[in-house]
Amino acid sequence: MSLELPRKRFERRSCFLKRARAFFEERGLTEIDCFAFRKKAPIDAYIDVIEAEVLPNIKAFLHTSPEYELKRLLALGVHDPYFLGHVFRKNDLGRYHHIEFLMAEWYRKDFILEEMIEETAQFISLFIPNTSLEILSYDEAFERFLGIDLSVISSEELKKKAILFGGSSDWDDKTIIHFLLSQKIEPHLGKKGLTALTHYPKDEAALAQTTFLNGKEVAMRFEIYKEGVELANGYQELSDAKELKNRFEKENQRRKKEGKEPYLLDETFLKTIDQLPSCSGVSVGLDRVWMLSEKASSLQQLLSPLLDDWHNPSFTKSL
């Protein structure tokens, strides 16, 4: 790959973008070029938002996803909107992470979760061909790959697992579960085709509805993986403003616990969200999809030569 003319890579990228757009156009979706600067930040314990001074003493946030704007438009009656563009996340830098990346996000009125999973798999298959789809629930994944029953496992047993796999027994249950998911489960997902992991714990519902599965309340949320890399995150969307406000406040509490600053609630969003029609939505990390389609093993192999410095050890030595 290093011997190839950079020109060819950019030409392929251009075709890639055209094919993505064609997928949405064929289905009659409406493209929205969402604003990157927003007055309010999304409230998530583990997503850090980049802030910039846009006017003297006035700061704005760079969007981490177009979710809030697209949902407001859906509530206004815009038909099945989609966004294809860059989003920004502070502190995310690694083999599969970059602070700025290409995202495709779209919403489908009256789609249920399973329909959204199917359409997302179709979209990804445009770029990574011959992909079968396997659907597995979060709890099933812990059972299958770790022999753990999340509904009965004790904190002591979790700590033992943490130490066994090179983590720390000082961590709380939630951290250990995230650690086990990323170290011991994710690498096994999407080995043959695509794997959709569904029905996350209810406290990880974010902006998704919840439902009951085997007597347990779970989030109507899915993530699609290929070769252990997360490519998509989707929900059957929640429109209940009161519940959403509750969740945002809980996330702010988590942020404070992690030593992070809490963010102000987006009151405009909360005022209009009750008018959101029933729908499902998904966001796809297109740089990662492209990475897999180009058979590269990291984002840095593909990003423009101009951006290589970000992943250069001497540049990031202070991180």
Binding mask 176-215 for other proteins (x = CB under 8 A): --xx-xxx--x----------x--x---x-x---------
Closer CB to other proteins, 29 or 185, in the complex: 185
Out of 137, 209, 210, 233, the only residue in the binding site for other proteins (CB under 8 A) is 233
Closer CB to other proteins, 85 or 187, in the complex: 187
For 94-117, b/e burial (b = at least 16 CB within 10 A) is eebebbbbbbbbbbbeebebeebb
Touching other proteins, residues 140-179 (CB under 8 A) = 165-168, 171, 174-175, 178-179
Closer CB to other proteins, 17 or 146, in the complex: 146
Binding mask 62-101 for other proteins (x = CB under 8 A): -----------------------------xxxxx-x----
- Could you give the maximum distance between any two Cα atoms of the chain, in Å? 56
Min CB(125)–other proteins separation in Å:
20
Min CB(273)–other proteins separation in Å:
20
Min CB(118)–other proteins separation in Å:
20
Closer CB to other proteins, 60 or 206, in the complex: 206
With beta carbons less than 8 A apart as the criterion, state whether 197 and 179 touch.
no
185-192 long-range contacts, Cβ below 8 Å, gap at least 24? 185/141, 185/142, 185/145, 185/146, 186/225, 186/228, 186/230, 187/228, 188/145, 188/228, 189/136, 189/141, 189/225, 189/228, 190/224, 190/225, 190/226, 190/227, 190/228, 190/229, 191/227, 191/228, 192/132, 192/134
Min CB(150)–other proteins separation in Å:
15
Phi, psi (rounded to 5 degrees) for 47: -120, 120
**Interacting residues of 290 by C-beta distance below 8 A, sequence separation 6+:** 13, 16, 102, 127, 302
Closer CB to other proteins, 60 or 281, in the complex: 281
What one-character-per-residue DSSP string does 133-162 give? EEEEEHHHHHHHHH---TTT--HHHHHHHH
Min CB(223)–other proteins separation in Å:
5
Using CB under 8 A as the binding rule, whether residue 250 contacts other proteins is answered as no
Using CB under 8 A as the binding rule, whether residue 223 contacts other proteins is answered as yes
Min CB(230)–other proteins separation in Å:
5
Min CB(205)–other proteins separation in Å:
10
What one-character-per-residue DSSP string does 9-56 give? HHHHHHHHHHHHHHHHHHTT-EE----SEESS----TT-B--EEEEET
Closer CB to other proteins, 10 or 46, in the complex: 46
Min CB(204)–other proteins separation in Å:
6
Angle among Cα 147, 297, 20 to the nearest 5 degrees reads 100
Min CB(249)–other proteins separation in Å:
18
Closer CB to other proteins, 64 or 293, in the complex: 64
Q: What tokens does 197 get? A: 């992991």
Q: In a 10 Å sphere around its CB, with 0-12 CB exposed, 13-18 middle and 19+ buried, how is residue 139 labelled?
A: buried
Binding mask 43-62 for other proteins (x = CB under 8 A): -x-x----------------
Contact positions vs other proteins (CB under 8 A): 44, 46, 91-95, 97, 165-168, 171, 174-175, 178-179, 181-183, 186, 197, 200, 204, 206, 223, 230, 233
